[in-house]
């Protein structure tokens, strides 16, 4: 089988897929033959991204959804299944960053960040797990962060969400591995995207969105007898 056909016949959902890391991951999975369901909140940006993938010969579906709402996640999964087929791959990529002294952050900041970065992964994974268990196959990839393994000033809420996400990912992996489902966490350092400002850093020396997409592709194309539970990613040169 050609590498371009390694995911032929498989269906993937990628959240936060209208730009940046999510779009790069969706493109890479599509290049490997997967049919890809793109999810993000902004319908116009999402359709533009899907159109870009279609122009490259990728079967892409644009389904706007707020990943912090359980009912919208249920609808996303159901429509993807009806349109593309059973879901083989879920990439939980959607995330936001709110930075600053924790004592200046509001309860609304906490709720927005934890709901987007952590609760959404629970909701989406819960929605796809029963069918994956029934079929005894599947991949769930959670885009975490090195901020889930370290602490830094002005990152309290963000770090809390990513530390929680790593804990959730590990427990999911233990619960699902017996069913043939592999759960992996990808932990990049700073990536050169619009996600957050990187004052004083050289973008050319930072991780790129395609670097993260490469890691995801490696995880979902590995031999079925094992799985990589966690990937840590750093640039070769400090930016």
Q: Which residues are catalytic?
A: 158
Cα separation, 27 vs 42, in Å, equals 18
Quickly list H helices, 84-155.
Answer: 107-114, 120-135
Residue among 166, 84, 186, 81 at smallest CA distance from 130: 81
Half-sphere exposure of 134 (CA within 13 A, CB side): 7
Burial 189-204 (b: 16+ CB within 10 A, else e): bbbbbebeeeeeeeee
Tokens of 64: 């706007």
Residue 118 carries which DSSP code?
I
Q: Are 150 and 109 in contact (CB under 8 A)?
A: no
Q: Are 87 and 11 in contact (CB under 8 A)?
A: yes
Q: Are 94 and 124 in contact (CB under 8 A)?
A: no
Cβ contacts of residue 84 below 8 Å, gap of 6+? 11, 35, 37, 59, 61
Cα separation, 195 vs 190, in Å, equals 10
């Amino acid at each position: 089988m050609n590498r371009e056909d390694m995911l032929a016949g498989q269906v993937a959902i990628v959240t936060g897929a209208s730009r940046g890391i999510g779009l790069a991951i969706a493109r890479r999975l599509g290049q490997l033959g997967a049919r890809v369901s793109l999810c993000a909140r902004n319908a116009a940006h999402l359709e533009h991204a899907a159109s870009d993938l279609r122009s490259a010969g990728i079967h892409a579906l644009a389904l706007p959804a707020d990943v912090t709402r359980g009912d919208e996640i249920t609808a996303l999964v159901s429509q993807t299944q009806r349109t593309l087929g059973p879901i083989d791959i879920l990439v939980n990529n959607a995330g936001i960053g709110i930075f600053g002294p924790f004592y200046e952050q509001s309860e609304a900041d906490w709720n927005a960040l934890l709901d987007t970065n952590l609760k959404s992964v629970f909701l989406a994974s819960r929605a796809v797990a029963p069918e994956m268990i029934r079929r005894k196959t599947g991949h769930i990839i959670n885009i975490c962060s090195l901020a889930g393994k370290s602490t830094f000033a002005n990152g309290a809420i963000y770090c809390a969400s990513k530390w929680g996400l790593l804990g959730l990912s590990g427990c999911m992996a233990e619960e699902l591995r017996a069913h043939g489902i592999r759960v992996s966490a990808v932990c990049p350092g700073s990536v050169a995207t619009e996600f957050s400002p990187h004052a004083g850093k050289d973008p050319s020396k930072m991780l790129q969105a395609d670097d993260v997409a490469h890691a995801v592709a490696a995880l979902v194309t590995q031999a079925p007898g094992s799985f990589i539970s966690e990937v840590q990613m750093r640039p070769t040169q400090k930016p």
